[in-house]
Structure 1
Amino acid sequence: MIGTMERQEEIAAIERLLLDRYGIAGTITPLPGEHDLNYRVETADGARYLLKLHAPGDADDLAMQVAVLDHLAEAAPHLPLSRALPDRTGARTADADIHGPRTARLLTWLPGDVWSRAAVRDARSVATLGRLLGALDRSLEGFAHPGAKRLYAWDIGRADMHRESLRFIDDAEKQAAVASILDRFATEVLPRLEACPRQVIHNDANDYNVLLDSEGHVSGLLDFGDMVETFRVVEIAVAGAYALIGTSDPVETIGRLAAAYHAVNPIGEAEAELLFDLVCTRYAVSICMAARQIRDNPDNTYLLVSQEDVWRELRRLQRENRPLAIARIRDACGFAPIPHAPRVERWLERNAHDFAAVIRPGLVRPKVLSLDLTASGPDAAAWASLDADGAERLIEARVMEAGADFAIGLYGEDRAVYKGDAFETGPTGARRTVHLGIDLFAPAGEPVHAPFAGKVAFIHDDAVAFGFGPTVLLEHRTDEGDVFWTLYGHLSRQGVQKLSLGQAIARDEAFAAFGTAAENGNWSPHLHFQVVTDHLGLEGRMHGVGVRDQWQVWQAVSPDPSVVFGFATPASVIVARDKDFLVRERHRRIGRSLSVAYSAAPLKIVGGEGAHLIDEEGNRWLDMVNNVCHVGHCHPRVVRAAQAQMARLNTNSRYLHDSLVEYSRRLAALFPDPLNVCFFVNSGSEANDLAIRLARAYTGNRDIVTVDHAYHGHLSSLIDVSPYKFAGKGGDGCPPHVRVAEMPDLYRGRFRYGDTHAGKKYAEDVRRQVEALAAEGRRPALFFSEGILGTGGQLTLPENYLKEAYAHVRAAGGLCLADEVQVGFGRVGSHMWAHELQGVVPDIVTMGKPIGNGHPMAAVVTTEAIAAAFANGMEYFNTFGGNPVSAEIGLAVLDVIRDERLMHHCRVVGDRLMDGARALAERHAIIGDVRGHGLFNGIELVRDRETLEPAAAELDFVIAEMKRRHRILLSSEGPHHNVLKVKPPAPFSADDCDRFLAALDETLGALAR
């Protein structure tokens, strides 16, 4: 221990060093360290530094630490790492005589608390650490230094060097555990590790070297003193050994860390598979090192800091199922959890036509009754109170009522009613409840046949543990040599006793029989059938239920066995998963370009009704952005129309069908002559793409005029005419065949409210674009515009804008299109179509979104002359457009709009909403403008009504608070992302309106405060 006088002398010497060599004076605070002396230096102006006094030793080691920071300062200046500061002479190191001769280095200070003491430490901490280490190691790929090639005891890639230290471990259990890990390392891990990438790594992201900020994100990484050139995957293993300390699920933590690293710096499958063993190896090496060092230096308490944690966590990991842990880590990194499982599934699918029936071979396509065996299911509830005989009679009665051959229990059901509530995967306490097989209920003694040839691999009898009766696993092999098993549970002991391990079983051979209820835990007689790609070392004790939160892994371990049976009735269910998993899988399987609403706190929506969405917990959310479900979510009239037609026929439009003709008549009747020809497609994007083809066919021209910041669809042809896309992030700029007209914005544009000629003035820019084309010897084919500009910020058009713009385009031989994809079908309240507000008749009208109330359909309406020009010999056909189901849905939507007076309703409630919002503007100066028609509205927020500075960040706050506090779903719009857009389903009521206004008033008040 250092005495008071000695400490004072130490601090004084450090102060002299700092002042003489660096010109710095400040408060000195000693920090922990194993070999080096570390100090925090804080100057009077609040600046902080880290002073390291290196003990005498390997000069190459210290030179390496200096060199690596110089390298990273250039290669990765963005990473939160300490940066070396030169002394007055420009040197990176300085000689010092403090507790003996030492070498001093002054480094920048990194903010945050060390991992072990951080107030917030969670999954985000693990993920940000993984990303940091991945980025760090990518930056170190090209770094080399003689000091990094050392033979270093803390390099777990050389764990075999520690066998001689086993004799220093006093505890027999601990010694045996470490010896087993080192044996596995030598025989199984190291041979595979030798093929993995090598490089210089940090090698010590421990809980005292990693810093976290107040939100739990990694804010810094300290101390490069353990750097070594070794296998890259060691970096993740070392960090994982510390990150998992105290977590509820250590394997999940390793997987999350590895996945985050992998996302930045991809690792191989072998690296992912070795991680679990390498984390255990890190603990084994730590125990060996501590045993030796404590023997040599029993007074060094620093060495004891983490040993209690190490032994506790090592024992936790050893209680994990190792094959399952490896599968989970593989899955986290995006690899198949069980590498050969996909090949087994494909083999089953390819050969299913030749499988024998597992029970009752004479039935080619048996009729089965699905039993709901979930905790809340009617079947489970019914027999929960019955004895075995009563349950059997109940099932038999249900089978007879249904006219079925037998009953089945489904794969993927939550079997929370399963006997044995303590089923766990390991120390995490994760309950196994999701059914991994299919249950077939039939009388006791029913013969069980092998669907394909195999041999008896395992036999196990659960009589002692759970009374479930014998289980048999038959082993099979695919054409590619992959081994898998079929599992048969709840069998008769009498039949199983005749089997022997290794016994060949032929296809269709009856090798066992259903057990009685008495020998199967008093369950009604049934067979549990399961496909197994990896028995996880459990052999005949293989689990029949898996963990919901790990379902994607258990699916690989035991894939859906429906393929073996080929029932006409579904024999499996989709297992519901949490939001984090769904986001992960969307990014992995669907692509990150598909955005997620409210990505910071996404919603999992499972139902809808009227103007409300319903999440998985039953919470109702007021939907104010979904104009797709125009007549209300899940409108029963629309649903019934779809169901009824689906049950009769759905085919393409090449065949004659009354519904298609009737729908085209009804739709065309909503437009004035000469708009009377309909084309049916599947989306607004398809409709607008077809409109371009129609215009080009009719005019012979190719150029398009569009309005600035417009969006008309996601097809390539529509991205070209959507400045919102091509002029934004990731866009390629305006293509040569497109001209962009000025956006007619009456609030912040050149011509504003009160200017009675604003429409004509803005239309002048359309004329200029047409003239610019003419100057190049070209003419427009089509002018694109919405009746209210959606992505432009819910902008209502100035009076006469479209009338003037249309005139300019038509004078040059072009056509005019009204895009009603967002605003059509009575949403504007006073008219069926938004372009009618301008008193114009377009040449082409496109519709989508609300046309099918969520069903994928869209339409183009145009004139006979334009349609005739398109019939130029090239056949037009759309496989799904205009199919009978879509036609019936479209008719039902029109009926609901008419019969529920929704157009009038939109006007009344829309006026109420805008009047209320304008009243709020009198109290909240941040509301700059309120605009719209019916239930298509925009509320623009500004920081200053004079300068019109956009309040985009403030709108983000409003949207988040309206969601968090009031369960109201909103979104932003406009070039500056400062317009609150309102476009709810049309049934949005007066009460809904008042609720929104009250919540907005409260939220804006909170924003002001």
Structure 2
Amino acid sequence: MTEAIRKHDGEIEAIDALLRDSYGIAGRITALPGEHDLNYRIEAADGARYLLKLHAPGEADDLGMQMAVLDHLSEAAPHLSVSRALPDRAGAASITTELRGPRTARLLTWLPGDVWSRSAARNMESAVTLGRLLGELDRSLEGFSHAGAKRIYGWDIGRADMHLENLVFIDDAGKRAGVRGILERFVNNVLPRLEACPRQVIHNDANDYNVLLDAEGRVSGLLDFGDMVETWRVIEIAVAGAYALIGTPDPVETVARLAGAYHAANAISETEAELIFDLVCTRYAVSMCMAAKQIRDNPENTYLLVSQEDVWRELQRLQRENRKVAIARIRDACGFSPIPHAARVERWLERNAHDFAAIIRPAVTKPKVMALDLTAMSSDAEAWATLDADGAERLIDERAAQAGADFAIGLYGEDRSVYKGDAFETASVGTRRTVHLGIDIFAPAHELVHAPFAGTVAFIHDDAVDFGFGPTVLLEHRTDEGDVFWTLYGHLSRQSVQKLFVGQAISVGEAFCNFGASSENGNWSPHLHFQIVTDHLGLGGEMHGVGVRNQWQVWQSISPDPSVVFGFSTPASVIVIRDKDFLVRERHRRIGRSLSIAYSAEPLKIVGGEGAYLIDEAGTRWLDMVNNVCHVGHCHPRVVKAAQAQMGKLNTNSRYLHDGLVEYSRRLTALFPDPLNVCFFVNSGSEANDLAMRLARAYTGNRDIITVDHAYHGHLSSMIDVSPYKFAGKGGEGRPAHVRVAEMPDLYRGRFRSGDADAGRKYAEDVRFQVEALSAEGRKPALFFSEGILGTGGQLPLPDSYLKHAYAHVRAAGGLCLADEVQVGFGRVGSHMWAHETQGVVPDIVTLGKPIGNGHPMAAVITTEEIAASFANGMEYFNTFGGNPVSAEIGLAVLDVIRDERLMHHCRVIGDRLMDGARALAERHSIIGDVRGYGLFNGIELVRDRETLEPAAEELDFVIARMKRKHHILLSSEGPHHNVLKVKPPAPFSAEDCDRFLAALDETLTELTG
């Protein structure tokens, strides 16, 4: 029995009786905290849990509203994790009772999870999932209205102006002044902008006692609708953010991620996004006013003190943030430009760059510059740290001279984290500013600085006292659209700056100041720090010259790359490396969620490759067993060298004569029997298959296509139409009228199985059936699509003679036959160069892709002279990049490596080793149902029962995840049931790699099956 219940004799008995009599429930009763209501957790004897609420008297409208909203949500959003009302035995949603006076009782479903305030699992995902839940909730409440929600309510921060009169209850003068400033800002700046924002009923109290989290820190439930009110929608985000940020390392990041998730579920406006930061501060101010007044009125109610000790501390943390940066970060998280006009300023700079004057005037018109790696130099004790200013200057000059450069530059985006000075200290809680926002130009002291375009002096600052980095000047400019921005000039000569005054007009090309000497420049070698500024953040001349790495997308908007002003022939900026979470978010925003990410639960950031291995940002080597694109090995030096050499000579389209293109077409067609001796070059397997279909239609005059079930032939619209894997799957629109689908010849699961010597002919009968079905409609096939081994079908080798019979049926009807070698060509099958050769057939058209360029985007169509001639019908065929000189040289290098490194034979030997090893594992692990393939194109099918062939898809997911996490081996699934382990590594996959894979698979299957 809890302390709260002991205080009132008989309460537990009364509650027990209430539950038994009214709801037919008996169980353990635990008191929970509440400001006005009495709340109890009920743990019934059958294990079920409930929440019993005993509402205080005098809250009829409030209670009616809470009951009404749950009814509304049960219809509008039954999926949301909110409590659901349970009726009593008589069907009533509430009943009256006596407990510490008259009460209204309601029984609700119990939501699992720990209260946010007590959960050790809370993390950034907590804020994200809370934002998503609240966004979905408010979207569901858009049409909800209730008289009880129209109240004037002290906890509605949309009415924060009411609390100005409560300031007198805050005893501490410093706190009182801080709260007054926030409330006055609300009245003068926030409220007028709120008036234009949407209003609706909101939950209004997603505090850390009303939000539940699961073991992974994700939100599992939202409690207590007693604070609901009709107000401005954005207040929902602010209230939740005020609680979610408590104790987090970076409060603005927490609020921003919450707001971004809300926006993704329920889009908000730019105005709403800009108000969130001020509204979070307002929530804290209101909380302090409410607490001060209520504690004075009711000092014994300890619930009023819950979280109040955090409020002032967190409010002070927020007040230390740069408000403009905080707003920019929230805007960015919601998908808006961090600085609204920044993109327009950048476009203005691009449009007008041809008119800019040179900032410094070297002897040559087009100066050659050397990019100076200041980070490396500053961390090199011998080269930099031990030098005095004169020595450092000489070193920079010497390196520039060695490079034949007119002067050296420091790069935009460079990491300056090696510096430990206060100038790089916290820009936000828990962060350091380390990424360079400008370009440094190293030149002799007193070098003249010219204005690149006209402006006026806006700020002059000398930080001699603070950091000793010398004077800084900001010139203000205005675009033709009226957008204001600034150019910043740092490390200047003090004497030259003393001649300037704020408001002074500076004309284009005017020399208005000079470089400072080392003695007035923190002992740096003389240089100019030049920076574009779209918002000086209220800092004026103290504007930061370095930004925060994990906020780089925001700082890029505040200070865009100034390279456009200089027009150097050498890159003056670098890409700032970001973490995986950011890259995932940006991919979703910038590239589209339909572009999948491998291992999405734990994505990899790959920065390098070598042979059969990929290398991540931490230097971890991952055995790549799914990448048949880099066929001869990641970054094969011979292929890389060929590409570099040709790129340095020429790359243009194929309209011009080029020896490499002709030689490559000769070499490539020599790998096929007559009459396959004509090439068309394109850029991808999808393009190749699309062109092949056009060739077939031109030659036959027919339009209909026959394809094999579950096949995939490309992402173009024309190829989606002939890919059952796509058109019959999720998001597909079904089989088009011009496409017929032949039965998949599956010797493991199909109608005819291994051991049936005639299975190939029998499966091909369905191709005949499709031909006859077309004939019955007065139509004929143009083309029959088939791979030599069925990839998406589950790594399925074709039954003997299948293609021989299928081709015969199609050709008898006047159609052509295509072998799709995009996945399996170039010796991967081990016994032959092309997979279709294992069937003893010669297709009319062959399409090549993926391995053809070892990662370079190229592909080809191989066909006969007769078919090619039919395509020359007057409509010119041209492909800008297909067959360009660089692609031709890469293609030749790939063929050379396959030949010289005997990779076809290697694929056969290692493939046999792998399949023999996998079949040996099948003798110990019954979950392996089938092992199949040719060379290094293999499938290992997992089943729960070898008799029923029940697919073991979930088990395969475990295997793939475990092999990745524990053994650093990359695999993926295939097949209609997603239960086939797909194996197609780069061809240099070695015997040692094979044995490592088999040992890891053995261990993983043992873990799986116990």
Do Structure 1 and Structure 2 share a fold, with TM-score over 0.5? yes
What displacement does 1:215 show? Answer: 1.6
Aligned to 2:591: 590
Cα deviations across residues 587-614 of structure 1 (Å, max 9, x unaligned)? 1011000000000000000111111111
Instruction: State how 1:326-405 maps to structure 2 within 5 Å.
Output: 326-360=327-361, 363-375=364-376, 382-405=383-406
The verdict on how the C-alpha distance between 1:750 and 1:4 changes in structure 2, with shifts beyond 3 A counting, is closer
Conserved in 1, the CA contact under 8 Å of 2:213 and 2:219? yes
- Aligned mates of 1:386, 1:639 — CA distance in 2: 40
What displacement does 1:902 show? Answer: 0.5
Aligned to 2:54: 53
Cα deviations across residues 900-942 of structure 1 (Å, max 9, x unaligned)? 1100111111111111111111111111100011100000000
The verdict on how the C-alpha distance between 1:707 and 1:132 changes in structure 2, with shifts beyond 3 A counting, is same
- Aligned mates of 2:36, 2:302 — CA distance in 1: 13
Aligned to 2:216: 215
Structure 1 residue 958 corresponds to structure 2 residue 942: no
Structure 1 residue 747 corresponds to structure 2 residue 748: yes
What displacement does 1:417 show? Answer: 2.7
Conserved in 2, the CA contact under 8 Å of 1:826 and 1:833? yes
Cα deviations across residues 796-815 of structure 1 (Å, max 9, x unaligned)? 01100000100111111100
Aligned to 1:492: 493
Conserved in 2, the CA contact under 8 Å of 1:745 and 1:752? yes
Secondary structure at the residue paired with 1:415?
A: coil
- Aligned mates of 1:529, 1:654 — CA distance in 2: 45
Aligned to 2:451: 450
Aligned to 1:722: 723
- Aligned mates of 1:495, 1:786 — CA distance in 2: 75
Conserved in 2, the CA contact under 8 Å of 1:374 and 1:380? no
Q: Which range moves more in the overlay, 321-330 or 419-428?
A: 419-428
Conserved in 1, the CA contact under 8 Å of 2:379 and 2:418? no
- Aligned mates of 1:421, 1:977 — CA distance in 2: 56
Instruction: State how 1:622-701 maps to structure 2 within 5 Å.
Output: 622-701=623-702
Secondary structure at the residue paired with 2:519?
A: coil
What displacement does 1:20 show? Answer: 2.5
Conserved in 2, the CA contact under 8 Å of 1:11 and 1:28? yes
Conserved in 1, the CA contact under 8 Å of 2:422 and 2:467? no
Aligned to 1:536: 537
- Aligned mates of 1:671, 1:117 — CA distance in 2: 70
The verdict on how the C-alpha distance between 1:4 and 1:435 changes in structure 2, with shifts beyond 3 A counting, is closer
- Aligned mates of 1:809, 1:99 — CA distance in 2: 87
Aligned to 1:514: 515
Conserved in 1, the CA contact under 8 Å of 2:933 and 2:939? yes
Aligned to 1:893: 894
- Aligned mates of 2:68, 2:846 — CA distance in 1: 67
What displacement does 1:256 show? Answer: 0.5
The verdict on how the C-alpha distance between 1:935 and 1:149 changes in structure 2, with shifts beyond 3 A counting, is same
Cα deviations across residues 117-168 of structure 1 (Å, max 9, x unaligned)? 1131111111111111001001100000111000000000000000111111
- Aligned mates of 1:385, 1:806 — CA distance in 2: 78
- Aligned mates of 1:229, 1:361 — CA distance in 2: 66
Structure 1 residue 1003 corresponds to structure 2 residue 1001: no
The verdict on how the C-alpha distance between 1:536 and 1:202 changes in structure 2, with shifts beyond 3 A counting, is same
- Aligned mates of 1:684, 1:603 — CA distance in 2: 25
Aligned to 1:36: 37
Conserved in 1, the CA contact under 8 Å of 2:358 and 2:509? yes
What displacement does 1:84 show? Answer: 1.1
User: Which residue identity lines up with residue 172 of structure 2 in the other structure?
Assistant: D
Aligned to 1:80: 81
Cα deviations across residues 551-584 of structure 1 (Å, max 9, x unaligned)? 0000000000000001111100111110011111
Instruction: State how 1:698-847 maps to structure 2 within 5 Å.
Output: 698-847=699-848
Cα deviations across residues 808-856 of structure 1 (Å, max 9, x unaligned)? 1111110000000000000001100000000000000000000000000
Instruction: State how 1:186-585 maps to structure 2 within 5 Å.
Output: 186-360=187-361, 363-375=364-376, 382-420=383-421, 423-426=424-427, 428-585=429-586
Cα deviations across residues 504-562 of structure 1 (Å, max 9, x unaligned)? 11111111101111111111100000000011111111111111100000000000000
Conserved in 1, the CA contact under 8 Å of 2:97 and 2:104? yes
Aligned to 1:156: 157
User: Which residue identity lines up with residue 504 of structure 2 in the other structure?
Assistant: Q
- Aligned mates of 1:446, 1:182 — CA distance in 2: 50
Cα deviations across residues 636-661 of structure 1 (Å, max 9, x unaligned)? 11111111111111111111110000
Q: Which range moves more in the overlay, 772-781 or 361-370?
A: 361-370
- Aligned mates of 1:772, 1:992 — CA distance in 2: 49
Aligned to 2:993: 992
What displacement does 1:401 show? Answer: 1.7
Secondary structure at the residue paired with 2:274?
A: helix
Identity rate of aligned residues, in percent? 83
Q: Which range moves more in the overlay, 670-679 or 208-217?
A: 208-217
Conserved in 2, the CA contact under 8 Å of 1:375 and 1:416? no
What displacement does 1:481 show? Answer: 1.0
Instruction: State how 1:125-204 maps to structure 2 within 5 Å.
Output: 125-204=126-205
Q: Where does structure 2 lack aligned partners over 5 or more consecutive residues?
A: none
- Aligned mates of 1:1000, 1:301 — CA distance in 2: 58
- Aligned mates of 1:24, 1:607 — CA distance in 2: 62
Conserved in 2, the CA contact under 8 Å of 1:200 and 1:230? yes
User: Which residue identity lines up with residue 624 of structure 1 in the other structure?
Assistant: M
User: Which residue identity lines up with residue 640 of structure 1 in the other structure?
Assistant: K
What displacement does 1:729 show? Answer: 0.2
Conserved in 1, the CA contact under 8 Å of 2:378 and 2:385? no
- Aligned mates of 2:706, 2:380 — CA distance in 1: 63
Aligned to 2:911: 910
- Aligned mates of 1:636, 1:531 — CA distance in 2: 41
Conserved in 1, the CA contact under 8 Å of 2:457 and 2:476? yes
What displacement does 1:376 show? Answer: 7.0
Q: Which range moves more in the overlay, 868-877 or 379-388?
A: 379-388
User: Which residue identity lines up with residue 849 of structure 1 in the other structure?
Assistant: K
Conserved in 2, the CA contact under 8 Å of 1:928 and 1:948? yes
Secondary structure at the residue paired with 1:484?
A: strand
Secondary structure at the residue paired with 1:518?
A: helix
Secondary structure at the residue paired with 2:520?
A: coil
- Aligned mates of 1:5, 1:84 — CA distance in 2: 28
- Aligned mates of 2:1007, 2:383 — CA distance in 1: 52
What displacement does 1:4 show? Answer: 6.8
Cα deviations across residues 714-733 of structure 1 (Å, max 9, x unaligned)? 00110011000000000000
- Aligned mates of 1:867, 1:697 — CA distance in 2: 9
State the TM-score, normalizing by the size of structure 1. 0.99
- Aligned mates of 2:909, 2:7 — CA distance in 1: 84
User: Which residue identity lines up with residue 40 of structure 2 in the other structure?
Assistant: Y
Secondary structure at the residue paired with 1:374?
A: helix
Conserved in 1, the CA contact under 8 Å of 2:456 and 2:506? yes
- Aligned mates of 1:3, 1:155 — CA distance in 2: 30
What displacement does 1:377 show? Answer: 7.7
Conserved in 2, the CA contact under 8 Å of 1:373 and 1:380? no
- Aligned mates of 1:3, 1:717 — CA distance in 2: 71
Cα deviations across residues 175-222 of structure 1 (Å, max 9, x unaligned)? 111001001001001000111100000000000001111121111111
- Aligned mates of 2:333, 2:622 — CA distance in 1: 32
Aligned to 2:618: 617
RMSD: 1.3
What displacement does 1:107 show? Answer: 1.1
The verdict on how the C-alpha distance between 1:510 and 1:299 changes in structure 2, with shifts beyond 3 A counting, is same
Secondary structure at the residue paired with 2:456?
A: strand
User: Which residue identity lines up with residue 368 of structure 1 in the other structure?
Assistant: V
User: Which residue identity lines up with residue 888 of structure 2 in the other structure?
Assistant: A
What displacement does 1:870 show? Answer: 0.6
User: Which residue identity lines up with residue 973 of structure 1 in the other structure?
Assistant: E
- Aligned mates of 2:822, 2:463 — CA distance in 1: 62
Conserved in 1, the CA contact under 8 Å of 2:707 and 2:741? yes
Conserved in 1, the CA contact under 8 Å of 2:378 and 2:384? no
What displacement does 1:790 show? Answer: 0.4
Aligned to 1:974: 975
